[in-house]
Amino acid sequence: MDVLFPALREASPRPALRFGDRALSYRELAAVAGPLTRRIGGQARVAVWATPSLETAVAVVAALQAAVSAVPVNPKTGESELAHIVSDSAPTLVLAEPGADLPGPLAALPRLDIDPYARDGEDQELPYEPGEETPALIVYTSGTTGPPKGVVIPRRAIARTLDALRDAWRWTAEDVLVHALPLFHVHGLILGVLGPLRRGGSVHHLGRFSTEGVARELAADGTMLFGVPTMYHRLAAEAGGNPALAKALGRARLLVSGSAPLPLTVHERIAAATGRRVIERYGMTETLMNTSVRADGEPAPGTVGVPLPGVYVRLVDDNGQAIEESDGETVGEVQVRGPNLFVEYLNRPDATAAAFDGGWFRTGDMATRDAAGNYRIVGRKATDLIKSGGYKIGAGEIENALLAHPGVAEAAVTAEPDEDLGERIVAWVVRAETTVSAPPAAPTGPADPTDPIAPTAPVDEASGGPRPSASELVDHVARQLAPHKRPRVVHFLDALPRNDMGKILKRELHA
Ligand code: MCA
Ligand code: AMP
C-alpha cells in the first residue's frame, strides 16, 4: 500500500507531535521510531499503556511502522476489564512510559519503556510498508452485554478514513490540531494523532482537557480543534463571559465535534459567542468515520453531514428494506459499507457475523436523511448502549459488575439525560439482605456532594450489618471496569419491576 506517513519517511524537519512542552519533528520521530521498530518487529501483538503522552504517540507510530498490531489500553481500566483485554488480545510485549506502574496482567508481560528522545546510534531505516489489510490497531469497545470486544482495524481503514477527512475538511500539512482526547479510542488516537501525521501537519495535545488550555493553543498557532460534546458544552458555557476564549475559538479554521450528538443549544451558544460554527462528523470504532459536514459545504447544525468520499451509507427500515426517501423524517437504521470498515471482532466470529447484513455493517444508530443528503442521528436501536462524555458504555457490563458485588441481589442500569455528559449512568439496585464485608482495599472516599447518591451505608435492618452504600458501589464499578463507567446516580429498590417472563422492565424504572 502507499506509505502511511510520508513526512515520516522523508524525515521532514517540520514539527509533528507536541505534548505540553515536549515536542518531536518528523525527523526526530523517525529517528526514535526506527530503532524501536527493530526491537518490537516480530512480536505477535503489543499492548500500549495509552497515557495522553508523547510516549504513547511514539509507541503507536513505531508499532505501525513495524507492522505489529497495537492494543491501546486505558490506564484507568479496572481489574476485571483489564484481565479480559489482556487475555483476549494476548499481547507479547507492553510499551509504556518509563516509571509507569503497570497493574497485574500487564506487569506480568515483557516490557519496553519508550524514551522519545533516545537516539540509538546511527539512524535506522524504517522497514518496508506492510500490506493494507495488515491489522494496525485493536481497539476495545462496549456492546450491550458482556465484556468489550476488540475491534481489529486494518491500515487500509486508517488511511482511507484520514484521506476522506482531508477532502471533507480541506485538511493540510499547514494545519495544527489541538485536542485533549484520550489516546485509547479512535477519536483521540486515529483522528487526533495519526490524522495530523498522515497529512504531514502537527498536533498539540493538552494532556488533559481545560478551557484555558484550548484558549491558549488556539490563540497561539492551532487551526483545528477536535472534541466531544461534553468539551464543547464546557467551552460554550465559558465563552460567553470569556472574550479571550471566544476570540481563540473564533480564530480556528475548524471546530469539529464527534463521538456523541452535539445539542443545538451548544451549537448556537458557540456560534453566538465566537462567530464560528462547530461541524459534526459521525463515526464508530468499527467503521472509523462515515459522514461529516464539509468544511466547504453549507453549515448544517443538528446533522452529521453527508457520506465521506468512498463510504456508502443507507437507511434500513424494520423489515430490512432500504429507505429511498430523503425527507428528513423517515427514520431507519444506518448501515455502512466501504474501505473505512474494520476486519472483525477479535476472537468473536459470531459477533462479527451478526454485525453485518450482506456486506453492510449495522451501526445500530437510527437516523433520517434530508433532501441535501445530510444525515441526522435521532437515537440508537439498543437502549442498553449509553454514551456518557463521548464514551460508549454497555448497560450489561455495569450490571454484571454490580451483580459481582456480594451486597447486590439484583441490578439494572439505564441512562438519563445530562446537560454536561449527554447521558448519565443510573443504577437501580436491590441489595442482598445479608451482612456484607467490604471488598479488600476498597477506598470508599466520600461521594461527590454534587452527585445525587447516598453518602453513607445504611444499616441492614434484618442483620444489623452494613449494606453497600451508593458510593461503595460506584467505587466498585470504577475499580472493576473504569471510572468513566461508574454510575452517577444509584437508586435502591425493594424489587425490580419484571414481566411474567422475569425480564426487567427498564422503562418502568424511570416512571
Ligand atoms: C471519579 N474518578 C474516579 C472515581 N470517580 N476514579 C476512581 N473511582 C471513582 N469512584 C476520577 C476519574 O478517573 C477522573 O480522574 C476524575 O475523577 C474525573 O472523572 P470524570 O468526571 O468521569 O471525567 P471528566 O474529567 O469530567 O471528563 C470529561 C471528559 C471525558 C474530559 C469530556 O469524559 C473525556 O475525555 N471524554 C472523551 C471520550 C472519548 O474520547 N470518546 C471517544 C470514543 P482524572 O481527573 O485523573 O482523569 S468514541 C469514538 O472514538 C468514535 C469513533 C467517535 O465517533 O469518535
Ligand atoms: P464508539 O463505539 O465508542 O466508537 O461510538 C460510536 C457511536 O458514537 C456511534 O454508533 C454513535 O452512536 C455515536 N456517535 C459518534 N459520532 C456521533 C455524532 N456526531 N452524533 C451522534 N452520535 C455520534
Burial, 104: exposed, middle or buried (Cβ in 10 Å; 0-12, 13-18, 19+)? Answer: exposed
Residue 285 near residue 139 (C-beta atoms within 8 A): yes
Cα–Cα nearest to 130, from 227, 5, 277: 5
Indicate whether residue 422 lines ligand 1 (CB < 6 A). Answer: no
Which architecture does CATH list for 1-161?
A: 3-Layer(aba) Sandwich (3.40)
Domain spans of the chain, in order of start:
1-161, 383-510
Q: For residue 7, name the pLDDT band (cuts at 50, 70, 90).
A: very high
- Mean of the per-residue pLDDT values of the chain: 93
476 lines ligand 1 (CB under 6 A): no
Question: For residue 230, how far is its CA from the centre of ligand 1 (angstroms)?
Answer: 10
Which pLDDT score is estimated for 433? 81
Which cell goes with 109?
Answer: 508481560
Q: What is the DSSP string of 66-114?
A: HT-EEEEE-TT--HHHHHHHHHHH--SEEEE-TT----HHHHTS-EEE-
Over residues 384-399, the pLDDT tens digits come to 999 999 999 999 999 9
CB 413 within 8 A of CB 420: no
User: How high is the pLDDT of residue 348?
Assistant: 98
Q: Which of 193, 292, 484, 488 most suits a substitution to test ligand 1, by most atoms within 8 Å of the C-beta? A: 484
Percentage of the chain lying above the pLDDT 70 cut: 93
Q: Is the CB of 76 under 6 A from ligand 1?
A: yes
Q: Which of 184, 226, 256, 259 to mutate to test the pocket of ligand 2 (most atoms within 8 A of CB)?
A: 259
Q: How confident is the model at residue 128 (pLDDT cuts 50, 70, 90)?
A: confident
Beta-carbon contacts of 75 under 8 Å, excluding residues fewer than 6 positions away, are: 49, 50, 51, 100
> How are beta strands 149-154 and 135-141 bridged, if at all?
antiparallel
355 touches 335 (CB < 8 A): no
Task: List the CATH code of the domain at 383-510.
Answer: 3.30.300.30
Q: What is the pLDDT of residue 121?
A: 61
The ligand 2 atom nearest the CA atom of 363? 10
Q: What is the pTM of this model?
A: 0.94
Instruction: Tell me if 213 CB under 6 Å of ligand 1.
Output: no
User: Looking at residues 289-301, what average pLDDT do you find?
Assistant: 95
Please tell me the distance from the alpha carbon of residue 185 to that of residue 208, in angstroms, as a whole number: 15
For the Cβ of 38 lying below 6 angstroms from any atom of ligand 1, the answer is no
| pLDDT of res. 119 | 80
> Would the CB of 473 count as within 6 Å of ligand 1?
no
pLDDT in tens, 71-92: 999 999 999 999 999 999 999 9
* Nearest ligand, measured from the Cα of 355: 2
Q: What's the average model confidence in pLDDT over 208-223?
A: 98
Residue 300 CA to ligand 2 centre (angstroms): 18
* 166-194: pLDDT as tens digits: 999 999 999 999 999 999 999 999 999 99
Residue 336 confidence (pLDDT): 98
**Cβ of 285 below 6 Å from ligand 2:** yes
Average pLDDT of the segment spanning 197-220: 98
pLDDT score, position 440: 42
Between 494 and 125, the higher pLDDT residue: 494
- Output the pLDDT for position 450: 43
**What's the Cα-to-Cα distance from 75 to each of 93, 100, 190, 386, 425, rounded to whole Å?**
16, 9, 18, 21, 21
C-beta of residue 317 within 8 angstroms of C-beta of residue 366: no
Neighbours of 448 (CB within 10 A): 12
Radius of gyration of the chain (CA): 23
Whether 400 contacts 384, CB under 8 Å: no
pLDDT of residue 125: 77
By alpha-carbon position, which residue is closest to atom 1 of ligand 1?
483
Of ligand 1's listed atoms, the one at least distance from the Cα of 475 is 10
Q: Identify which has the larger pLDDT, 316 or 452.
A: 316
Q: What is the mean pLDDT of residues 132-148?
A: 95
**pLDDT given at position 444:** 37
Q: What is the DSSP letter of 504?
A: B
The residue to mutate among 81, 158, 185, 365, having the most atoms of ligand 1 within 8 angstroms of its beta carbon, is 185
Cell of residue 462, nine digits: 434484618
User: pLDDT (tens digit, 9 = 90+) per residue, 352-381?
Assistant: 999 999 999 999 999 999 999 999 999 999
Residue of the nearest CA to atom 34 in ligand 1? 389
Q: What pLDDT, on a 0 to 100 scale, did the predictor assign at position 275?
A: 95
Residue nearest to atom 21 of ligand 2 (CA): 261
Cβ–ligand 2 contact at 289 (below 6 Å): no
Q: Is the CB of 222 under 6 A from ligand 2?
A: no
